[in-house]
Structure formats: structure tokens, C-alpha cells
Amino acid sequence: MATASVAPARRDPLAGIPRPAERRLALRVTPAAQRALRQGHPWLFAQGITDLRGDGKAGDLAVVFDEYRRFLAIGLYDPASPIRVRILQHATPATIDRAWLRDRLGEAAEWRATLPETGTTGYRVVHGENDGLPGLVIDRYDTTLVVKLYSAAWLPWLADVRAALDEAIPAGGIVLRLSRDVQRRPEALYGLSDGTAIAGSPPDTVIFTENSLRFEADLYRGQKTGFFLDQRDNRARVEQLAAGRRTLNVFAYSGGFSLYAARGGAPEVVSLDASAPALAAAERNFALNSHIPAVASARHELLQADAFDALAAMQQAGRRFDLVIVDPPSLAGSQNQVDGALQAYSRLTGLALGVLEPGGALVMCSCSARVGAPAFFATVHRAAAQAGRPLNELDRTGHAIDHPVRFPEGAYLKALFATA
């Protein structure tokens, strides 16, 4: 008997998700919420809603009216999120459908059109709110896209997003990632889980380029969507600073800053991270670039340790560097953690200066959205002054162009370049 030699057709993982409801919810909101929406803010918080007609499910379209029943905005309703409606369109009514999504995605792609010319095939294609698609992030890694949802409201729209992507940003495959908040809502996921291929069969690990350096990313399990794409421009600045400088990359993850430092001429690069898999990836990323003479000749050392402990131990042991980069994970997950985060930035500044040669360069980064730029920069300066190493600032930077900032909360990334 011949057994089936043809692979069984794979069931579409989106097949079990119901289509978005036809009906629309009608909302009235407080005067403060009206003002925010008129200014184009993408979020309507639960406490801003005064009247809700209908019983909304995640992904329902909600239309917001002012007190004269004039249209203010339309967005996606999410009953389980404090951001109750994520606004898709302000001021003029629109039919939200596949064609509307395709147009938005096309505009986002257009904004990044020149990036591949810079030797960059890994970059953010859709940056959520900042590209008019709140709660939706899409990153490109060579020919594979990663779609990451920060609200369960996107699930009923996922088949439309996939079809719209096919027209606006054709790709070889798509991996779906879910934020931690969304993963906690199994009732809204229709059996889908974090790290699912929803188009094609993308491999576990893809190789992409950033400013012509080669990197691998684990799209199914890696942090964020596999790589910290937002640091691209800051890494390029590090490359400019690195010639002849022994470099320490604290919170190195897969070695992004380390590779740029090596290509920029650092004779020695230490990648320090608590995660063994991250450091293993950093080592493979060095191997991927061994055709570059400066990378091949740099001595790359992996150090798996807690950053705070390791910095103190290196200071004790008299180990010193000429360039230190500190890029910790987000340290304030909620508003009441902001003070603790600022204390941690202060401690890290002091610890980093403890291993920095006089006249060396320091790069301090913060990706905590709740820590504002003025507070972060002031904290780093104060800690340095207290350590007796006042900083001479070279530069303050934020995001690369594929991470546009179109509303205040979108400006999460801050970096300070200085010598001390």
C-alpha cells in the first residue's frame, strides 16, 4: 500500500478566529478625553468613557462622538485593557477594512523605503501608535516578518492584517508574537500562542543585516521580536567612538553594540549579560562577521553574570575599559517603579564609571517609557558628579527613523554619550 507521500495541508492557524463583528459600539467621552482625541492622541482610557452603547468584545470597532454627536474617532475596543480604545482614525470617519489596513501599511513601508540601501534588512516596519496602528508592531528580518500584538483587540483583524501585508509588504513568511499582557488572555486567543507561524514556514533563526553587519535572530522565542532594532543608530555612534578603545558592553543581549565596537576598531570587547543563550548568540554573531578584519582581530570575551555584581567585582579587581555601554532592560514596568528605576540608573552610572579609565567614553541608555528624558539625563549627570567624574556630554539621542515618535508616550528610548 502506498502511504501518503504528500504532506498534509497545514491547517490555517487563524481559521478558528471569528471575523470582526459588523456592529459598532458608540461611545461618549469626558471633555478631557475629547481634547486628547482632537489633538490626535491614540489612546482612550476606560475612565474617559461616560457612555457606552452595546456590550463590547475585544476587536469590536468603537466610534467616539462628542456631545453634539459629531464624529471624533474610531478605534479598536478592548474590554480588558485600561487603554479601552486604541484609535485607528481621528476626525474623519473611515471604513476600517483590509483596504484601509493595506493603505496604512503601505505608508509605513514607504517611510522606511531607503533603509535597505544602508545595508539594513532588519528593521521595524510598523511601530504601533507611531504609525497609526496602535498596539501593532511589525518587524522585518530579511524576508520574514514578525507581527507582534500588544492588544487582544487585533486578533479578529489578524487575517485581514495578513492579507493586507501580502499586498503592501510581501514576505516569505510571518511569525506571530504576543505581548505578555495578551498571553495572559487565553479566552481571547482562540488557541493561538506566542511564537506561531501564520504564513509560510519561517525558520527558527534568520540572518539579517544591520548597517551591513550580519546578525541572527530567534523570531519565535527571542526578546522583543528577536533583536533590539531600536538601537541601530546608537550602535553606529558606538562604532565611531570605538577605535583603539577597550570596550565593555553591559546588558549585551546578542552582542549588537559589541559587534559595532569591534568593527569600529576596539581591540578588546567584553559582552556582559545574565543570559547564557543571549551570550551564545553574541558569539555566533561574531562568527557571522569574521570576514571583517577588525571583527576577526578584536578579542571578544563573554561574561555571564549579574551586571551590578560583575561591575563591582571588576572595579575591585582593577579591570578598566576605555568605552563602557550600559543598556539595561526596561526598569519601570509601572508608574510606582519609576523612583526605583532612577535609583538603578544612578547606581549603574556609578558602577560603570568605576571601571572606566579617566577620559574614557560612557554610553548610558534607558528604554523605560515611564522614565522621561529630562529625569533620566539629570539622574545620570548627578550620579557621575557624585562619583567625582562629571560628564562631558557628547550627544543625547533617541530612536532611529524606523521608530518614529508621533505621540509623547512613544519617546521611550534615551541615550547619553559622554566622556568622563
Of 208 and 257, nearer to ligand SAH (C-beta) is 257
Q: Which of 16, 116, 244, 329 touches ligand SAH (CB under 6 A)?
A: 329
Of 155 and 252, nearer to ligand SAH (C-beta) is 252
Q: Binders of ligand SAH among 2-41, rule CB under 6 A?
A: none
Of 274 and 338, nearer to ligand SAH (C-beta) is 274
Minimum CB separation from ligand SAH for residue 363, in Å? 10
Contact range with ligand SAH by CB under 6 A, out of 93-101, 206-214, 268-276, 312-320? 268-276
Residue showing cell 539629570: 378
In eight-state DSSP terms, residue 348 is H
Element (H, E) at 297: helix 293-297
Minimum CB separation from ligand SAH for residue 256, in Å? 4
275 binds ligand SAH (CB under 6 A): yes
307 binds ligand SAH (CB under 6 A): yes
Amino acid at 155: L
274 binds ligand SAH (CB under 6 A): yes
> Residue 24 forms beta bridges with which residues?
61
* Residue 378, C-beta contacts closer than 8 angstroms, at least 6 positions apart: none
Contact 377, 363 (CB under 8 A): no
Q: Which three cell numbers stand for residue 363?
A: 554610553
Contact range with ligand SAH by CB under 6 A, out of 31-39, 251-259, 282-290, 333-341? 251-259
* Residue 330, C-beta contacts closer than 8 angstroms, at least 6 positions apart: 367, 368, 369, 412
Contact 179, 225 (CB under 8 A): no
- At residue 305, the 3 state secondary structure works out as coil
Maximum Cα interatomic distance, the chain, rounded to a whole number of Å: 82
367 is catalytic: yes
Total residues binding ligand SAH (CB under 6 A): 16
Contact range with ligand SAH by CB under 6 A, out of 39-47, 267-275, 286-294, 370-378? 267-275
Q: Which three cell numbers stand for residue 177?
A: 508574537
Question: What is the distance between the alpha carbons of residues 312 and 253, in angstroms, rounded to a whole number?
Answer: 20
Minimum CB separation from ligand SAH for residue 329, in Å? 4
Q: Which three cell numbers stand for residue 122?
A: 532588519
Q: Which of 123, 157, 208, 253 touches ligand SAH (CB under 6 A)?
A: 253
Question: What is the distance between the alpha carbons of residues 5 and 327, in angstroms, rounded to a whole number?
Answer: 51
Catalytic residue among 73, 302, 367, 383: 367
Contact range with ligand SAH by CB under 6 A, out of 115-123, 210-218, 270-278, 400-408? 270-278
Question: What is the distance between the alpha carbons of residues 12 and 159, in angstroms, rounded to a whole number?
Answer: 10
Contact 173, 199 (CB under 8 A): yes
Q: Which of 141, 257, 260, 321 touches ligand SAH (CB under 6 A)?
A: 257
Minimum CB separation from ligand SAH for residue 340, in Å? 14
Contacts to ligand SAH by CB under 6 A? 228, 231, 251-254, 256-257, 273-275, 278, 306-307, 327, 329
Residues known to be catalytic: 367
